[in-house]
Amino acid sequence: MNLKHSKQRDSIKAFLATRKDHPTADVVYKNVRQSFPNISLGTVYRNLTLLADLGEITRIRVGDGVDHFDYDTSPHYHFVCSACGCVTDLDMPMTDQISRAAQEYFEGEIEGQVTYFYGRCDNCIPKN
Amino acid sequence: MNLKHSKQRDSIKAFLATRKDHPTADVVYKNVRQSFPNISLGTVYRNLTLLADLGEITRIRVGDGVDHFDYDTSPHYHFVCSACGCVTDLDMPMTDQISRAAQEYFEGEIEGQVTYFYGRCDNCIPKN
DNA sequence: AATAAAACAGTAATCATTACTATTTTAGAA
DNA sequence: TTCTAAAATAGTAATGATTACTGTTTTATT
């Protein structure tokens, strides 16, 4: 399957590069539509999936029923606010020590782990 | 909102109690239908949500797009097989040390974490 | 037995995502 | 440059899990 260049894909990737808030497919769609008014939602989904498969972006699942996408492919933790639903990065080194520990308790082969944190983001904590 | 007893709810809970494989709503539905042929899928969903809200069962989200349910409400880790999709328990002590470490890096309030492991379960590892 | 709240069955609606199809674009060869 | 086949697209339909709605039945209490 030989990749062919597409302006829509470029635009999707370029948009993601400008955002640190891990937008959903729908947010990408609404924004990219400003440069490509006729782009279809299917095109957005297809390219997000393609880019994620190529390892150029990351798909993030934080249990809110919607996939989020991240231009930053370096491994890092995420936080999800239970109040506003925002997804933010944690600038904290990742460790696989739990995975290695878990392997001791498991007969199959553990290849990786998913970890994210939840609670209230700074904006959603009532200030006096 | 005063709870009222329901045979359907009992049956759903009783079924879950017999299973260690974290069935989905649909699996619960198919099985409970053997005792309640007319039970509706909506009833299953409503009761699973109710029981989870009451803390009598646990809702498990492992990124496969379907919610799983667990009769065991004690905190424990889960493993998801990337090949067959099964969800199994890990008999490993839980730690919140990552959450506490993460708090150092985050301005909001971290209330908890979600961690699960993925890879190949024993059944899905080719044996010679 | 009367009653009101809760739960139910059955069905329709929602929402994110994927699949399909006919048309357009890309990129490399003639 | 023109031709061609593969890839990508827009637009739309379909899927699948879940939730919402509605009129009826159960439950538990008076």
Over residues A64-119, the pLDDT tens digits come to 999 999 999 999 999 999 999 999 999 999 998 999 999 999 999 999 999 999 99
- The answer to whether residues A24 and A54 belong to one domain is yes
Structural domain range at position A58: 7-70
Over residues B64-103, the pLDDT tens digits come to 999 999 999 999 999 999 999 999 999 999 998 999 999 9
Closest CA to A78 of A110, A41, A111, A115: A115
Protein residue at shortest CA distance from C1' of D26: B6
Supply the DSSP symbol for A37: T
Among residues B28, B49, B70, which one ends one of the domains?
B70
Which are the contacts of B77, defined by CB distance < 8 A and separation ≥ 6? A102, B89, B90, B92, B94, B115, B116, B117
* Lookup: tokens for A70: 């991240």
- pLDDT on residue B37: 96
- The answer to whether residues B37 and B59 belong to one domain is yes
Among residues A50, A70, A90, which one ends one of the domains?
A70
CATH number, domain at B22?
1.10.10.10
Over residues B27-52, the pLDDT tens digits come to 999 999 999 999 999 999 999 999 99
The number of distinct structural domains making up chain B is 2
pTM tops 0.85, yes or no: yes
Question: Which residues on chain B are in Cβ contact (under 8 Å) with A116?
Answer: 113-114
pLDDT more than 70, % of chain B: 99
CA distance A90 to chain B (A): 6
Flag whether B1 is in a domain: no
Q: Å from B47 (CA) to D30 (C1')?
A: 28
Question: What does the angle CA B122 – CA B126 – CA B128 come to, to the nearest 5 degrees?
Answer: 115
State the Cα–Cα distance between residues B39 and B33, nearest whole angstrom.
6
Which member of B102, B118, B121 has the closest CB to residue A90? Answer: B102
- The answer to whether residues A49 and A84 belong to one domain is no
The pLDDT-based confidence of B9 (bands split at 50, 70, 90) is very high
- The answer to whether residues A55 and A32 belong to one domain is yes
Contacts within 8 Å (CB) and 24+ apart, B15-18: B16/B57, B16/B69, B16/B70, B16/B71, B17/B71
The pLDDT-based confidence of B104 (bands split at 50, 70, 90) is very high
Flag whether B37 is in a domain: yes
Over residues A63-76, the pLDDT tens digits come to 999 999 999 999 99
The pLDDT-based confidence of B1 (bands split at 50, 70, 90) is low
